[in-house]
Amino acid sequence: MAELATIHLHPTAPLARRVLLPGDPGRALALAQTLLHEPRMFNHNRGLWGYTGAAADGELLTIQATGMGGPSAAIVLTELVALGARAAVRVGTCGALAPGLALGDLVVAAEAICSDGTSRALGARERAAADAQLTAALSGAAPEARTGSVVSVDLFYEARPGAGERDQALAIEMEAASLFALGNTLAIPVGCVLAVSDTFDDRGARSRIDERALLAAAERMGRAAITALGA
């Protein structure tokens, strides 16, 4: 197999058919240590750490960081599918748009409003849908989560969703639309569960979650995703 851009498989650590996709490499490590039995690093190319081990259900699971933004996430998922991945769940962070969402709350993304460039380049139009069965399983595994639309954008600090997007989306993030569009193209189920890491007041001032609360939310996301992937 030709060398791939981001994923260099370690010879003693296999890639699982089921994959969790956090953005942050450090969160990938933390989730692997918490959710996997005897995790083994199978990729560290370009600082995108990936680990494989047995999940609580006894089946192999890979946790692979995607980095930030749609372009990086699309490259990673494309290569994982080429190497044998057959289902993926993004376990990432988001900024709250809907009233009532607080730091640490979970959001299951049923679809993404495509305000980014990558999903459009992949053929998506105004919206890209998550896999319906996987989304239902995620909602069942995390009944406390709110399920609905999110908006995917290319910018982080400068992101300014329009009034229509604020009315239609629960949260704002950067990768879901690209992953959904790619999943639809490659015909593999892709889902997404997010933890609220940022909230905004009426003037747009941002409040950020602390690391301990974010790790706790990430563990809840990871356990829900494992349950959904095994459903």
pTM for the model: 0.94
Tell me what pLDDT residue 2 has.
46
Domains and CATH numbers, the chain: 18-230 (3.40.50.1580)
Tell me what pLDDT residue 160 has.
62
- Residue 210 annotated to the active site: no
The string of pLDDT tens digits covering residues 143-193 is 999 999 999 999 887 766 665 666 789 999 999 999 999 999 999 999 999
- Sequence-distant (6+) residues with CB within 8 A of 173 are 92, 93, 94, 95, 109, 150, 151, 152, 153, 194
| pLDDT for residue 13 is more than 90 | no
Catalytic residue among 167, 198, 201, 210: 198
